Structure 1
Amino acid sequence: MTTSAAAEDLTARARIRGAAMQHFGELGYERASLRVIAETAGVSPGLVRHHFGSKQGLREACDEHLIKMIRQVNDQTREGLAAGALNSVLSARAAIGPYHLYLTRALAEGAASAPFDELVRLTVPWLLEADKSRPDPPAVDAKIRAALVTAMALSIGVLHEHISRAMGVDVFSPEGDRLLARGLIDIYSHPMLSLEDAGRILAAIDEAEATSPQGESQ
């Protein structure tokens, strides 16, 4: 294969993947057909199968591309914050924006396990870094907290219609994204529980576990 032919082949693959992410996001995996994806990408259905083998193979390639983007954004954000460039957070949100619908639909369908797991893995170092400045030791392992943080963050996309209705603006619009960012910053910068209240609640949980039939048998 010549250099130009190889480049054209890679371009076609990228167009197919982009079209697939669009249709998987808009229609869902089951309703999106390879024929329509191929038509949007400007290629034949045969070329789609040549590159990806099957619709499932195509979705796995979409997940792999999304994971690659997530890693790049995570690395760029860490580097930007380390250099004092706070706008790196806004740039990261903008970079991931085009993939919101694809990821949201996949999560609602019970898929996207690989991107979810990667987000959890990448969140752990952020939490461990934050733990260094905590006045109290974490109550649970960092991976558990990372999974919960990831789930809460992604739930905004899954529930975007309801959140948009409550906010009075499309959460995926530029105005909605700015309002969402402001709201999240306000929430995360003001704890809802004091350390004293949290300690009392955790102590009550420990006591309940100790006195439960299951706890007594252990």
Structure 2
Amino acid sequence: MRSADDDLTARARIRNAALELFGAEGASRVSLRAVAQRAGVSHALVLHHFATKEGLRQACDDYVISLVKGAPDADLGDTAGLAAMLEAGVAVRRYLGRAFLDGTSEAAALFDEIVASTSQWLEQGVREGRVQPSDDPPARAAMYVTWLLAPLAFGEHLARSLGTADVHDMRTLLRFSRAGIEIFTRGVFTDEHALDAWDAVRDERGPR
């Protein structure tokens, strides 16, 4: 007779197999039978635990989001906290990237939560003198988070640009992360010429 512990182990094994396949190919392209084969269990057992593919995908979403929110010392508005999320297993990172591309409601809620927390963190930094003031704090917070999460969705293109086989390789992860932090810390342009030009276009073509 199968014990409760066996059920839990099988459920986790099926979920992990789904994370790998859904992240690599997208949930719409993966069958429950393929997940069962990857997990080394029967199709019937997958149905027993999750009932449908949507149920399995929901379980994957819940698991990934629980990892993000439960990361040790994870302040989602802090670079260190987001780094902890990005340092999760490769299957988790790929799955999360696919979720953002597919536009699940859970991924949307997580993104909004991270942006809100990041906005608070940046504003605290402004008050403490660690962060430059912004003309548009909400937009800056959203762009900051978008940059941090972009490799999850554009990993293949980033890897190609950096000449590496896998953007999830830790050496590559550290390389592009450091480049981004350098941009945020030191800036790119030496004066406000580009910003002034952009403002001129906005003033000329913006809402009247």
- CA distance, structure 2, for counterparts of residue 31 and residue 70 of structure 1: 25
Letter matched to residue 46 of structure 2: V
Q: Which residue of 2 aligns with 1:139?
A: 135
Aligned to 1:117: 112
Give the number of aligned pairs: 203
2:204 equivalent to 1:208: yes
1:153 alignment counterpart: 148
Compute the RMSD of aligned alpha carbons: 3.4
Supply the AA of the counterpart residue of 1:101: R
User: AA paired with 2:43?
Assistant: P
d(CA) in 2 for partners of 1:134, 1:202: 26
CA radius of gyration, larger in: 1
Structural mapping, 1:24-63, within 5 Å: 24-63=22-61
Taking the aligned partners of 1:135 and 1:182, their CA distance within structure 2 comes to 18
In the other structure, the counterpart of 1:175 is 171
Can you list the C-alpha shifts for 1:166-197, whole angstroms capped at 9, x where unaligned? 21123222321232232222222112357866
- 1:99 is matched with which residue? 92
164-173 or 62-71, larger mean C-alpha shift: 164-173
Q: How does 1:8-87 map to 2 (within 5 A)?
A: 8-73=6-71, 76-78=73-75
SS at 2:135's partner residue?
A: coil
Q: CA deviation at 1:198?
A: 8.2
CA distance in 2, matches of 1:104, 1:10: 26
Tell me how far apart the structure 2 counterparts of residues 120 and 88 of structure 1 sit (CA, whole Å). Answer: 13
Deviates more, 1:46-55 or 1:116-125: 116-125
Name the SS of the counterpart of 1:95 in structure 2: coil
What runs of 5+ residues in structure 1 fail to find an aligned partner?
A: none
* Maintained 8 Å contact 2:14/2:46: yes
- Among 101, 116, 123, the residue aligned to 1:108: 101
- Give 1:164 shift: 1.5
Offset of residue 147 of structure 1:
2.7
Q: How does the TM-score come out when normalised to structure 2?
A: 0.77
The alignment partner of 2:30 has SS state of coil
- The 3 A distance-change label for structure 1 pair 110 and 161 is same
In structure 2, distance between residues paired with 1:203 and 1:168: 36
Deviates more, 1:183-192 or 1:4-13: 4-13
Deviation of residue 18 (structure 1)?
A: 0.8
**Contact (CA 8 Å) 1:20, 1:37: kept in 2 or not?**
yes
Q: Where do 5+ consecutive residues of structure 2 fail to align?
A: none
